[in-house]
């Protein structure tokens, strides 16, 4: 029945799969889950007609990402064992193993004339914490905060709020938010994160609509007016500093909600690649025997009513293609994003000078009113 919907995001889940999807595993599954998240960190897709398995995408912050494995490539062998004789589950099992152990992969690009290459990866525990932050010393003595958001979980917004508060206490001049290879997660977390950056009156963050032959407006989230029943003690906007977002073709779902909200409201420019294009919402419905259904029930639109799924992802303001390297090593997209933050600051300064305003601080945006109490507020976020 679910297959007849021809919706790749809807599926029937066995009792075990349903518990895992809702993050409520029974005790006997805990060890399995710990084992499941130890490996190289990439999603394996269907068998390719030319051999091997398609690589859907590397996980954000994973060993696979750090060596440059990209979505669309093919996995041919694991430790010299061809995967053509294996099922997808068997191939995934080979990728897992003890933390710190090495595994050699043979990978080939999707191009017709491509030559395969071998990569040695170290298995690690996955997933990583949702967010990490690093300070960057830029030109003119400026300090830029680089944040890498790996996924949207129930504690990701709290981590981002904490990172912004730390940045503000250090007097950072701007932020770079890296959403490359972020597959999404909890929709409401993307809404809450957007509200940490948006200081506008009655501006839309995201709109959900149901389609039954025509679009039926479901609900629109408004910055500064988030329902307290869902967003308990949200602190509101925490910074006015310039922001640049980095995206790629694997930035999906909740990542696209956050990007669309900040971009359409003029809060951030976007650097990178066109995003994945998943603009639909799924709900989980339990069945009597413990199994469940994951069904698409709505789609979401950006503040300017851009249909992410229908139009195939969000297009960046500036194109840049590179993969996130190992921790502490900047790739060319991060370097470009830092430069773009500096350009925004320079333009702001020139505009203030053009208007004949005196600059008491190198950062004109810090003149904007911001409730200091929010930086020290306690609560869910």
Residue 214 confidence class, pLDDT cut points 50, 70, 90? low
pTM of this structure: 0.81
Residue 357 confidence class, pLDDT cut points 50, 70, 90? low
Question: CB of 197 within 8 A of CB of 239?
Answer: yes
Q: Per-residue pLDDT for 262 more than 50?
A: yes
Q: ∠ at Cα 45 (39, 48), nearest 5°?
A: 120
- Average pLDDT over the chain reads 86
Q: Per-residue pLDDT for 159 more than 90?
A: yes
Strands 243-247 and 269-272: parallel
pLDDT of amino acid 364: 46
Least confident of 34-38, 173-177, 250-254, 345-349: 34-38
Taking the C-alpha atoms of 138, 144, 150 and 156 in order, what is their torsion angle to the nearest 10 degrees? 170
Question: CB of 32 within 8 A of CB of 26?
Answer: no
pLDDT of amino acid 367: 43
pLDDT in tens, 294-329: 998 888 899 999 999 888 899 999 999 998 887 777
For residue 324, give the nearest of 166, 146, 184, 185 by alpha carbon. Answer: 146
Residue 355 confidence class, pLDDT cut points 50, 70, 90? confident
Question: CB of 235 within 8 A of CB of 199?
Answer: no
Residue 27 confidence class, pLDDT cut points 50, 70, 90? low
Question: CB of 160 within 8 A of CB of 149?
Answer: yes
Under DSSP, is residue 16 helix (H, G, I), strand (E, B) or coil?
helix
Q: Per-residue pLDDT for 5 more than 50?
A: yes
In the chain, count of helices (H) and strands (E)?
10, 19
Structure tokens at 235: 């602190």
Before 127, cis peptide (omega within 30)?
yes
Once rounded to an integer, what is the mean pLDDT over residues 53-64?
Answer: 91
Burial zone of 30 (CB within 10 Å; 0-12 exposed, 13-18 middle, 19+ buried): exposed
For residue 231, give the nearest of 305, 131, 128, 161 by alpha carbon. Answer: 161
High-pLDDT (> 90) share of the chain, %: 52
pLDDT of amino acid 212: 57
Contacts 24+ apart (CB under 8 A), 373-379: 374/235, 374/236, 374/237, 374/238, 375/165, 375/168, 375/169, 375/238, 376/165, 377/233, 377/235, 379/232, 379/233, 379/234, 379/235
pLDDT of amino acid 362: 47
pLDDT in tens, 81-138: 999 988 888 898 899 888 899 999 999 998 878 899 999 999 998 767 889 999 999 9
Once rounded to an integer, what is the mean pLDDT over residues 23-39?
Answer: 56
Structure tokens at 261: 């909200």
pLDDT of amino acid 360: 44
Question: CB of 272 within 8 A of CB of 335?
Answer: no
Query: CA-to-CA distance for 98 and 123, rounded, in angstroms?
Result: 7
What is the distance, to the nearest Å, from the Cα of residue 349 to the centroid of all Cα atoms in its chain?
31
pLDDT of amino acid 358: 57
Catalytic positions, written as ranges: 253, 264, 278
Once rounded to an integer, what is the mean pLDDT over residues 63-74?
Answer: 92
Burial zone of 379 (CB within 10 Å; 0-12 exposed, 13-18 middle, 19+ buried): exposed
Q: Per-residue pLDDT for 79 more than 90?
A: yes
Question: CB of 71 within 8 A of CB of 249?
Answer: yes
Question: CB of 327 within 8 A of CB of 337?
Answer: no
Structure tokens at 149: 């958001």
pLDDT of amino acid 319: 97
Question: CB of 135 within 8 A of CB of 212?
Answer: no
């Amino acid at each position: 029945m679910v297959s007849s919907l021809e919706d790749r995001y809807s599926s029937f889940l066995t009792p075990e799969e349903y518990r895992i999807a809702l993050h409520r595993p029974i005790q006997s599954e805990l060890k399995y889950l710990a084992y499941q998240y130890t490996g190289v960190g990439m999603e394996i897709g269907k068998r390719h007609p030319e051999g091997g398995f398609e690589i859907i995408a590397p996980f954000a912050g994973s060993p696979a990402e750090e060596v440059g494995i990209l979505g669309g490539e093919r996995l041919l062998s694991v430790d010299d064992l061809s995967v053509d004789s294996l099922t997808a589950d068997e191939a995934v099992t080979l990728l897992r193993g003890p933390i710190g152990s090495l595994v050699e992969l043979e990978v080939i690009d999707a191009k017709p004339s491509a030559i395969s290459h071998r990569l040695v990866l170290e298995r690690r525990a996955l997933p990583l914490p949702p967010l990490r932050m690093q300070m960057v010393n830029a030109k003119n003595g400026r300090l830029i905060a680089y944040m890498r958001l790996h996924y949207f979980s129930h504690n990701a917004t709290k981590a981002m709020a904490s990172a912004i508060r730390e940045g503000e206490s250090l007097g950072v001049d701007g932020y770079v938010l890296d959403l490359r290879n972020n597959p999404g997660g909890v929709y409401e977390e993307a809404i809450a994160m957007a509200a940490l950056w948006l200081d506008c009156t009655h501006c839309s963050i995201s709109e959900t609509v149901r389609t039954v032959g025509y679009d039926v407006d479901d609900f629109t989230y408004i910055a500064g007016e988030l329902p307290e029943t869902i967003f308990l003690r949200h602190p509101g906007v925490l910074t006015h500093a310039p922001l640049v977002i980095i995206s790629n073709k694997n930035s999906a779902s909740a990542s696209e909600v956050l990007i669309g909200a900040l971009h359409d409201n003029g809060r951030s420019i976007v650097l990178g690649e066109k995003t994945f294009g998943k603009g639909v919402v799924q709900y989980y419905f339990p069945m009597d025997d413990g199994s469940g259904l994951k069904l698409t029930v709505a789609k979401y639109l950006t503040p300017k009513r851009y249909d992410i799924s229908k139009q195939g992802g969000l297009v960046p303001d500036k194109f840049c293609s590179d993969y996130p390297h190992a921790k502490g090593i900047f790739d060319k997209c991060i370097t470009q994003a830092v430069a773009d933050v500096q350009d925004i600051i320079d333009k702001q300064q020139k505009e203030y000078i053009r208007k004949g305003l005196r600059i008491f601080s190198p950062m004109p945006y810090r003149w904007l009113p911001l409730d200091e109490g929010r930086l020290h507020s306690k609560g869910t976020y």
